[in-house]
């Protein structure tokens, strides 16, 4: 393989110096790149040049020996699963230039102990929330003790105030916040992402303002304590497994604006028998998943 623009070599990848940092899988038998032997040793440190503007999906995934990395201010986006299973990564900085962090970005970064986030807004027990137009949550590893130079105690989050600058609650934003009891969604929000409140087992009440046009799949999955919810007429679709196993849900209104119901969306709801009387709701909504 001859790459004239070769910049970096890691154990399993070639990183090319483009505006987007691209990783190319190296086949197991490859030994020569541009006339030089490589030994495919584990990469434990990586310097990202300032010409790079994006770290693409899975860019450093499975770099199990990567211990630290400095992200330059030229980077504006970190892709999905970018540092997935970087199990030796201990420290990382996220500059204020970052406007988007992909889902599962730091999944299974089990050694991460220090994280500097220049645009840090909120810290909860299990997440860092960044105050962008989309409220982004980053999973916090069990070992993480330092964020932005300050100790955190990872106390349970039971209440959360969403600023009016936020327009979307992203994928798994509050998922598994098991002590979250109530939350007020401001009228600036237009979408609740997939699994947004899934497994919020202590959540008892929530308001959905008329500004919301979309409720994602699995949004309130296994919210066992949720007792009542009001769905505004701005909603036209209820996602798959949206209220699955909401066993305490005794009351839910179904406005005529809803024209699409996802599979299994009302299975195990406390008001399931009452909902079955509504002939506009397909029977598939009450089926058990699998």
Residues 119 and 161 in one domain: no
pLDDT at 154: 46
Residues 190 and 104 in one domain: no
Residues 56 and 28 in one domain: yes
Residues 146 and 14 in one domain: yes
pLDDT at 108: 82
Q: How far is CA 98 from CA 42, 71, 197, in A?
A: 27, 10, 25
pLDDT at 247: 97
pLDDT at 38: 46
Enclosing domain of residue 268: 156-290
pLDDT at 201: 93
State the residue for tokens 């401001």.
186
pLDDT at 249: 95
Residues 61 and 97 in one domain: yes
pTM above 0.75, yes or no: no
Domain total in the chain: 2
Instruction: Spell out the per-residue pLDDT of the chain, length 290, in tens.
Output: 555 565 666 666 666 666 666 565 555 555 444 444 444 446 777 778 888 888 888 888 888 888 888 888 988 888 888 888 888 888 888 888 887 777 778 888 888 777 777 766 666 656 667 655 666 666 666 666 555 555 544 456 677 777 777 888 888 888 888 888 888 888 998 989 899 999 999 999 888 999 998 899 999 999 999 998 989 999 999 999 999 999 999 989 999 999 999 999 999 999 999 999 999 999 999 999 97
Domain boundary residue, one of 152, 186, 210: 152
Residues 164 and 266 in one domain: yes
CATH number of the CATH domain containing 199 = 3.80.10.10
As a whole number of angstroms, the distance between CA 106 and CA 187 comes to 31
pLDDT at 59: 87
Residues 173 and 64 in one domain: no
């Amino acid at each position: 393989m001859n790459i004239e623009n070769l910049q970096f070599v890691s154990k399993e990848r070639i990183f090319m110096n483009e505006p987007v940092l691209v990783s190319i899988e190296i086949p197991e038998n490859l030994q020569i790149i541009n006339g030089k032997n490589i030994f495919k040793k584990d990469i434990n440190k990586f310097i990202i040049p300032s010409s790079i503007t994006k770290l693409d999906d899975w860019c450093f995934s499975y770099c199990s020996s990567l211990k630290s990395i400095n992200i330059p201010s030229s980077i504006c986006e970190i892709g999905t699963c970018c540092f997935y299973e970087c199990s030796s990564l201990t420290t990382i900085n996220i500059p204020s230039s970052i406007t988007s962090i992909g889902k599962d970005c730091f999944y299974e970064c089990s050694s991460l102990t220090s994280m500097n986030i220049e645009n840090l807004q909120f810290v909860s027990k299990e997440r860092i929330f960044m105050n962008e137009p989309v409220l982004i949550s980053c999973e916090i590893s069990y070992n993480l003790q330092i964020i932005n130079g300050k100790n955190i105690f990872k106390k349970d989050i039971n209440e959360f105030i969403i600023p009016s600058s936020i327009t979307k609650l992203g994928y798994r934003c509050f998922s598994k916040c098991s002590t979250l009891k109530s939350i007020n969604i401001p009228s600036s929000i237009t979408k609740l992402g997939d699994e947004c409140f899934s497994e919020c087992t202590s959540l008892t009440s929530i308001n959905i303002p008329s500004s919301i046009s979309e409720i994602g799949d699995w949004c309130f999955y296994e919210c066992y304590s949720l007792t009542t919810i009001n769905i505004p007429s701005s909603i036209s679709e209820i996602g798959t497994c949206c209220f699955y196993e909401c066993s305490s849900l005794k009351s839910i209104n179904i406005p005529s604006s809803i024209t699409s119901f996802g599979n299994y969306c009302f299975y195990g709801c406390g008001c399931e028998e009452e909902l079955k009387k509504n002939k506009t709701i397909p029977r598939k909504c009450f089926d058990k998943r699998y």
